[in-house]
Structure 1
Amino acid sequence: MQEFVMVARQLWLRRNSFIYKNIFLPPNCLLRETSLKLQLLKEEKDKNQIQKKGQQTQNSAEAWQSPPANWFKVNWDGAVDKAKCLIGIGVVVRDEKGQIIATMRHKKMQLPDPLLTESYGALIAVRFAKDLGLTQIELEGDSLLVTKALQEENEAWSSTSMFICETRTWLKTFAMWRVSHVRRNGNNIAHLLAKGSLSISDDFNVTMEDIPQCISPLVQ
């Protein structure tokens, strides 16, 4: 029934695009888009079911905690602007003393789905850590579904699996690594960076010494 409703809606939107915007979408494009949206709906439903059960990853925490000595913690988060089909990624890297080593803000035109954005954000965060030359990292985010997927080796065919698999591949290039989950309160700096990334002028903005204005109230 859900598939029928989705196809009917896509047909209606396709008709309106042709009549009012003179844009013709081939039937195969319509079917691909419908399939993707159904998959995203299923993933979001699975995500909500997991959260309702109160499941936590092994390293879940209420607040941000320092990594072990000689390690770096890489926190990431994602934000979406559905009106502009735009996503934003925020990444902050801190040392064992809690000092900010680097930050990154990144925006990209992409399907503004929260789960897809979080998966893509994890990949961007790991690549950023690699570019910084780090060798021992703890990757931490507030998406329970994504952190659990990264901790497990199970393969799945979904819109997010490509990013998850590639992130795992990058993680294995570090000397030591681990993935942990934290509640939103412990990920607020990455969250503000992600929201701020939606309005940056360039696609990427990296800071190594300066603190972005959007997070300055949280940094002592």
Structure 2
Amino acid sequence: MAVWQEGCRRVQKLSLEETDGRGFLLQLRARLNGEELLETLTLARLIWLRRNSFIFNQSFSDPGSIISHARDIMSTFTEVHFRSLESGLPHSQPRWERPPLSWKKINWDAALEISNRRVGIGLVVRNGAGEVEAALTVCIPFVIDPTLAEVLGAWHALLFCRQQRYTHVILEGDSQEVVKALRKDGPC
């Protein structure tokens, strides 16, 4: 409550219907302008991280630090955003393309948490209509190399394909080094 009291006044007065996460975000998007939405989502994420820090690390930060951290994040985001617009750099999102109808596309990624020496891997499987058919998360301890984490993400994507007996698959990851190695003939 202390964090939300320092945030956007319009958010404090909102009355939202109970719904799932997607419905909640759609309600926020319909009722807030861009800056208010950015602040609200930034605060929500920082509150979630504060909760996790308390539960897993027994570390408790005061609410004022969350507000100042959120303002720093928003300031940095705005500065970088306008700098890219002023420099004439293209400001477009990469587009996800669905696979052919009889194929599956597996997007995988790995996130490294150095302080706890572990890796989180996520996979999302979509069909030719672009619908999510499956998702998987894996937590692996004692990995401290980012490239190895990405390799493990690709490995788990391949294992999942094998377990599900997928024969027509497109693998998509964000590590150019790993993707190039997978495209080579012979051993990686």
Q: TM-score, normalised by structure 2?
A: 0.48
Higher relative contact order (CA 8 A, sep 6+): 1
* Greater radius of gyration (CA): 2
Q: TM-score, normalised by structure 1?
A: 0.42
